[in-house]
């Protein structure tokens, strides 16, 4: 049977404020051609000036994947002619990329696997061509946005592994805060190189490159389709005829890949060092700053488990996104018990977020959640009442204490009110009190239940327990 061989090329936009070779804004979604200047319009005589932030972000990435950082790297011109690239070449890196030879450890169904990262290099993004019925338009706002192209070794053996790799990569970029990595907005784009070979064979067979993959679901489906197509060709004795090196596009309507163009060889790009840009030499101080990277998801999981006593499965959940981890850590920093914070975040808050509302757009901010959980911890309201408060806060912009007041959810912690009810319950159940005194311990729970019931949920259960113990020992 066949073995699947996949190598991925990811283009991720670095989240610098300005473009890589000029000071135009990188902001997304604005009116066409409003973020352009002589440099990114490729007017004659305009010269590129390298954005240091982009270099720093690339170095941080290399550090996170245990790669070699080339303190001296070179920018090349990669020639090709499309209107969205008005210079008729793209500034990119070729022989000496800034990042070389790293790794990502992926986890597929509990098994860890090392995937090699060949290189990561800096380059500029192109603009966008927009084709309408009778005309084509060009928007150059995106032209010159810094890109990091991250190329994997052909180490992936299934579409599941490919998706696991991409999710891991995505997480690293987000936790490093070097890219928005937003697939819908195109700031995280993936091309998949796919080939098959007979099991046991170690040589690489002909690869097909699939472009236009903008969701994890489509990446999976495109790879699966392509593997199917190549295997069928092999089995029909038509492999040589039907599988050749080419670029294919994924048709998201019919879920098939279609031939787009024959594959360029790197020779066709006629790379040569860009005479307008000196080789990049990273100063020691800048390098030392860039390699100081924040804690990544994996390290957070380990720390939540060992320092906070969070279950591993919960810790994985809490680090699904950088926003989620931040929210959680804000609760912990405010002194909320980890177990309470975990449950209220994963079960209560996430359970109430839907219709595309995420933790970032949650109507209940971490500050509000802290106030709410403090009111559970200090006994002002019960956990059950807190859920009502949360329901209310999901719909209304209000502060926690006034909602507690408004909904009348305050627990009675006032001893005398509780003692009065305890006396009443004990008097009405003299026979059961006798049984309890004769050793029937479980009667205690019965009394608690009766008192709580009489208190109509407004009594603080801890307080009831304490006062009842004081009464009957």
Q: Which residues bind Zn ion (CB under 5 A)?
A: 22, 24, 37, 39-40
Asked if 195 touches ligand ADP (CB under 6 A), the answer is: yes
In the complex, least distance from residue 5 CB atom to ligand ADP, rounded to whole angstroms:
4
40 binds, among Mg ion, ligand ADP, Zn ion, none (CB under 5 to 8 A by kind): Zn ion
Tokens of 59: 């170095």
Binding part of the chain for ligand ADP, among 54-62, 124-132, 140-148, 189-197 by CB under 6 A, reads: 189-197
Cα 357 from Cα 97, distance rounded (Å): 39
83 binds, among Mg ion, ligand ADP, Zn ion, none (CB under 5 to 8 A by kind): none
β-pair type (208-213, 246-251): parallel
* Tokens 């279950």 found at: 311
Cβ contacts of residue 432 below 8 Å, gap of 6+? 443, 446, 447
Residue nearest to ligand ADP (CB): 7
Cα 243 from Cα 236, distance rounded (Å): 12
CA distances from 158 to 91, 161, 165, 215, 226 (A): 33, 5, 11, 17, 12
Cβ contacts of residue 53 below 8 Å, gap of 6+? 14, 16, 17
Question: Which one, 157 or 463, has the nearer CB to ligand ADP?
Answer: 157
In the complex, least distance from residue 7 CB atom to ligand ADP, rounded to whole angstroms:
2
Cβ contacts of residue 248 below 8 Å, gap of 6+? 208, 209, 210, 211, 226, 257, 258, 259, 260
Asked if 8 touches ligand ADP (CB under 6 A), the answer is: yes
Single out the residue of 142, 207, 221, 368 in contact with ligand ADP (rule: CB under 6 A).
207
DSSP assignment of 14-46 equals: ---SB-SSS--B--SSPSTT-S--TTTTT-TT-
In the complex, least distance from residue 198 CB atom to ligand ADP, rounded to whole angstroms:
13
Single out the residue of 204, 333, 417, 420 in contact with ligand ADP (rule: CB under 6 A).
204
DSSP 237: T
Helices (H), 17-73: 52-64
Asked if 224 touches ligand ADP (CB under 6 A), the answer is: no
Binding site for Mg ion (CB under 5 A): 9
CA distances from 428 to 33, 56, 73, 453, 457 (A): 82, 75, 86, 14, 20
Cα 370 from Cα 80, distance rounded (Å): 55
Binding part of the chain for ligand ADP, among 87-95, 131-139, 147-155, 332-340 by CB under 6 A, reads: 147-155
Asked if 338 touches ligand ADP (CB under 6 A), the answer is: no
Single out the residue of 32, 52, 108, 154 in contact with ligand ADP (rule: CB under 6 A).
154
Question: Which one, 63 or 152, has the nearer CB to ligand ADP?
Answer: 152
Cα 344 from Cα 331, distance rounded (Å): 10
β-pair type (146-152, 111-124): antiparallel
Scan residues 409-448 and list those touching ligand ADP (CB under 6 A).
none
Question: Which one, 242 or 414, has the nearer CB to ligand ADP?
Answer: 242
Question: Which one, 97 or 455, has the nearer CB to ligand ADP?
Answer: 97
Question: Which one, 207 or 375, has the nearer CB to ligand ADP?
Answer: 207
Cα 64 from Cα 295, distance rounded (Å): 10
Binding part of the chain for ligand ADP, among 55-63, 87-95, 200-208, 392-400 by CB under 6 A, reads: 200-208
Contact 48, 22 (CB under 8 A): yes
Single out the residue of 7, 48, 62, 455 in contact with ligand ADP (rule: CB under 6 A).
7
Return the bridge partners of 131, or none.
136
Question: Which one, 95 or 285, has the nearer CB to ligand ADP?
Answer: 95
Cα 237 from Cα 240, distance rounded (Å): 8
In the complex, least distance from residue 382 CB atom to ligand ADP, rounded to whole angstroms:
56
266 binds, among Zn ion, ligand ADP, Mg ion, none (CB under 5 to 8 A by kind): ligand ADP
Print burial letters for 309-324: b (CB count within 10 Å at least 16), e (below 16). ebeeebbbbbbebbeb
Asked if 205 touches ligand ADP (CB under 6 A), the answer is: yes
Residues in binding contact with ligand ADP, number by CB under 6 A = 17
Three-state DSSP state, 364 = coil
Cβ contacts of residue 360 below 8 Å, gap of 6+? 323
Three-state DSSP state, 89 = strand
Contact 34, 41 (CB under 8 A): no
Single out the residue of 193, 230, 380, 411 in contact with ligand ADP (rule: CB under 6 A).
193
Cα 453 from Cα 8, distance rounded (Å): 62
Asked if 151 touches ligand ADP (CB under 6 A), the answer is: yes
Binding part of the chain for ligand ADP, among 24-32, 203-211, 224-232, 297-305 by CB under 6 A, reads: 203-211
232 binds, among ligand ADP, Zn ion, Mg ion, none (CB under 5 to 8 A by kind): none
24 binds, among Zn ion, ligand ADP, Mg ion, none (CB under 5 to 8 A by kind): Zn ion
In the complex, least distance from residue 127 CB atom to Mg ion, rounded to whole angstroms:
20
Binding-site string for ligand ADP from residue 250 to residue 289, where x marks contact by CB under 6 A and - marks none: ----------------x-----------------------
The footprint of ligand ADP (CB under 6 A) covers 5-9, 151-154, 193-195, 204-205, 207, 209, 266
């Amino acid at each position: 049977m066949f073995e699947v061989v996949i190598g991925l090329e990811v283009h991720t936009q670095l989240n610098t404020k300005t473009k890589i070779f000029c000071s135009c804004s990188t902001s997304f979604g604005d009116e066409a051609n409003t973020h352009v200047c002589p440099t990114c319009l490729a007017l004659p005589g305009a010269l590129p000036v390298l954005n240091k932030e982009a270099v720093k972000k690339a170095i941080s990435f290399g550090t996170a994947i245990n790669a070699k950082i080339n303190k001296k790297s070179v920018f090349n011109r990669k020639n090709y002619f499309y209107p969205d690239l008005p210079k008729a070449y793209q500034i990119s890196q070729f022989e000496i990329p800034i990042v070389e030879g790293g790794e990502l450890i992926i986890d597929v169904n509990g098994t860890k696997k090392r995937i090699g990262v060949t290189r990561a290099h800096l380059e500029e993004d192109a603009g966008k061509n927009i084709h309408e019925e009778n005309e084509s338009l060009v928007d150059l706002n995106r032209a010159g946005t810094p890109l990091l192209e991250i190329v994997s070794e052909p180490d992936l053996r299934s579409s599941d592994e490919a998706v696991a790799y991409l999710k891991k990569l995505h997480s690293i970029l987000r936790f490093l805060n070097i890219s928005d990595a937003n697939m819908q907005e195109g700031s995280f784009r993936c091309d998949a190189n796919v080939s098959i070979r007979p099991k046991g064979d170690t040589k690489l067979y002909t690869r097909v490159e699939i472009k236009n993959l903008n969701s994890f679901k489509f990446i999976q489906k495109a790879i699966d389709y392509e593997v199917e197509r190549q295997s069928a060709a092999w089995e029909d004795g038509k492999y040589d005829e039907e599988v050749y090196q080419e670029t294919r596009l994924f048709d998201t309507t019919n879920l098939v890949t279609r031939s787009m163009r024959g594959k360029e060889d790197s020779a066709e790009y006629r790379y040569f060092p860009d005479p307008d840009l000196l080789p990049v030499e990273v100063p020691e101080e800048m390098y030392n700053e860039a390699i100081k990277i924040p804690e990544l998801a994996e390290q957070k999981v380990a720390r939540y488990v060992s320092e906070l006593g969070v279950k591993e499965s919960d810790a994985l959940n809490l680090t699904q996104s950088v926003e989620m981890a931040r929210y959680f850590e804000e609760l912990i920093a405010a002194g909320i018990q980890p177990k309470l914070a975990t449950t209220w975040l994963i079960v209560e808050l996430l359970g109430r977020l839907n219709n595309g509302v995420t933790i970032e757009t949650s109507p209940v901010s971490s500050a509000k959640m802290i106030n709410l959980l403090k009111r559970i911890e200090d006994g002002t309201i019960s956990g059950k009442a807190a859920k009502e408060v949360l329901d209310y806060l999901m719909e209304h912009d209000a502060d926690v204490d006034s909602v507690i007041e408004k909904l009348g959810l305050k627990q009675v912690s006032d001893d005398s009110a509780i003692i009065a009810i305890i006396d009443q319950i004990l008097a009405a159940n003299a026979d059961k009190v006798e049984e309890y005194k004769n050793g029937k311990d479980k009667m205690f729970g019965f009394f608690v239940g009766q008192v709580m019931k009489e208190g109509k949920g407004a009594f603080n259960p801890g307080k009831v327990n304490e006062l009842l113990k004081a009464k009957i020992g």
